[in-house]
Amino acid sequence: MSVIAVVAIGAPDDEVLASVEPAVAGAFGREVRRLEPLAEPSGSLDAARGQWNAPEMLKTLLAARPASAERILGVTGRDLFIPVLSFVFGQAQMDGPTAVISLARLSQAFSGLPEDRPLLLQRARKEALHELGHTFGLVHCPDAACPMSLSTGVVQVDRKGEAFCASCAALVRERTPVAMPPEGRTR
């Protein structure tokens, strides 16, 4: 069976990983294996921004990917950026093996609100599906309820569902032959 590896970068949040893993297994029809946590890449912190460079995180994940894993998803509590954007919830290699999500801005605490663990877990699952979808070649979806829709804020993340729309589900099935049920999400 094909494998997607899931790994914490930095301090692991076992509850988040335990929530993300079955969602990933179900959406992509893959076995999910948790790896030992990775250290944060020393060169990825941009001290001036106070954020971590997402492409550098992807390089670390690529080097850590076991040969047995077709994809690897990193989960970090650090706030991520790419040079052209002020922040990202995640980053992935389009049609490549690596993806990373950040829990920082998915947390209510980032906005000064009381922490809401169920909401954080839900947001993490959606963003994990989104970034891994990119690794299977899926692009942003115009359906706001699809995990593949673009999110520039948590409001958009919260509008997403946790199952791919029919069009994206068909693409996942096409690109992951042993994947998901034939109907995609129930509307």
Q: Which of the residues are catalytic?
A: 131
Burial pattern 48-67, b for ≥16 Cβ within 10 A else e, equals eeebbbbebbbebbeebbee
27 backbone dihedrals φ, ψ, rounded to 5°:
-70, -35
Cβ burial, residue 36 (10 Å; 0-12/13-18/19+): exposed
Nearest to 143 by CA among 118, 170, 125, 176: 170
What Å distances lie between residue 108 and 117, 131, 156, CA to CA?
A: 9, 21, 14
In the numeric block, the tokens 């029809």 are attached to: 29
Contact between residue 81 and residue 105 where contact means Cβ atoms under 8 Å apart: no
